[in-house]
Amino acid sequence: MNVPAALKRISDTIWELPVSYKEGMLVPARIVASEKLVKEMDAGVFEQVSNVATLPGIQRYAYCMPDGHWGYGFPIGGVAAMDPRSGVISPGGIGFDINCGMRLVLTSLTAEQVQPKLHQLVDRLFARIPTGVGCHGFIKMKGDDFRSVVQQGSRWCLKNGFANQQDLEMTEEGGCFPGADATHISDKAVERGYNQLGTLGSGNHYCEIQVVQPQNIMDPELAGSFGLTTVPNQVVIMFHCGSRGFGHQVATDYLKLFLSVMERKYGIKIVDRELACAPFHSPEGQAYFSAMKCAVNMAFANRQVILHRIREVFSDVFHASPDDLGLRMVYDVAHNTAKLEKHLVNGSSKELLVHRKGSTRAFGPGLPGLPECYQKTGQPVIIGGSMETGSYLLAGMATGADAWYTTAHGSGRTMSRHEAKKKFRGDKLQREMEQRGIYVRTDSFGGLAEEAGAAYKNIDEVVEATELAGLSKRVARLVPIGNIKG
């Protein structure tokens, strides 16, 4: 057990390290978790979340969500809101895979209709959606075309026939963070990204065919509002990917820049160089914010093109149009971003720069920025579990204000990738999963071993903790039957 003696229990799901825990902390650090989950967290979580609490301009608390584990700079699951007038922006609080996010898509098909064609569907998805390290997409473009993509996001997809208007409406920020300026991205970043549109990549990225079993619907009214109760054993598609090598290069470029100016030019001293930062309103801070938005928009476009391919595959296999098959989006949510948002601080509305690293925006009912159809329900929240266990659809709650309307983003690793590869064999895991009714195609058996269910926390425990903490309410549990992975 790695829990520091200074950690105080505030409630059943809130744990706090006081400002006295570490020199330089400006606010307390809070962890959202059950007692079991907090005891299982690695020591890096407590070290990193308390480091975050030392950053200039941080407001209220540094947070870590229940899926938290050690990351780069911030823990995975880390959340921090900065006063943009006095605070900083830090790539370590956003991540290398900028806007690594989730998309959930409905169908009107049932498990009984899909099962006879499951192998055909998964095989065709695997053929149409490139997976693995360094994979290239089917859209051929040049650097200047790609610069247009990263400034427009999903709007570029709409103009070029890869999206419909409803897709954009069901995507966070309409699929485009405004203010993305391609003059702030390097040629190397463009070189790494221009041929990767419509690709999953590797690691924990996947595209999964899932079933909504009637007994796994926790809130029938919300499920109906999200489109989940039209048929019993309804089939849905969930996928997870981000900005690929492009986002990684953006983060790398600006970490290097921030390290060169942070102390020399701005007099900022930090406890961990992985938290390299710059004043938000400095030229360097604004340039990174713009470049980060470019990576966010690339990821939105990437997921949109993947959805286009999914629609093609299902149409081909079932000989019907996407509309006839009910292939429409529930929502697309981003992880790994920083956004200017208005929140209540001491009773007054205040604009804050909210860093979410491996965590999900979870706006409650009535908040601006939600589609009209979700104003009464709150934002759909998509939390992926492991490929062996299942995932969840949840809804943002009105009680999430303290944590800046943020919740978990996945189940969270308990085992390093290296350790998982030593413990599991990918080919054996693939056979075992098929025996349990989950057909998987992968670009790498080593990569499959890294994603074994036992390498992750219990997704049921994670989402229960988010609900008990008032961050996101469980709507339905989604069970995997088919999966493609890098």
Distances (CA, A) of 103 to 175, 176, 346, 392: 12, 15, 35, 12
Specify the long-range contacts of residues 265-273, CB closer than 8 Å, at least 24 apart: 268/56, 268/88, 270/51, 270/54, 270/55, 271/22, 271/24, 271/51, 271/54, 272/48, 272/51, 272/73
Q: In the numeric block, which tokens belong to residue 475?
A: 């709507």
Q: Are 473 and 217 in contact (CB under 8 A)?
A: no
Assign 42 to helix, strand or coil.
Answer: coil
User: How far is CA 29 from each of CA 57, 161, 164, 279, 364, rounded to the nearest angstrom?
Assistant: 14, 46, 42, 21, 23
- Give the span between the Cα atoms of 238 and 476, in whole angstroms: 13
Q: Which of 281, 355, 409, 418 is catalytic?
A: 409
User: Whose structure tokens read 């804050």?
Assistant: 352
- Phi, psi (degrees; rounded to nearest 5) at 9: -85, 120
In 10 A of CB 318, how many CB atoms? Answer: 17
Cα–Cα distance for residue pair 458/410, rounded to 1 Å:
10
Please state, in angstroms and rounded to a whole number, the distance separating the CA atoms of residues 437 and 165: 35
Annotation marks residue 409 as catalytic: yes
Positions marked catalytic: 409
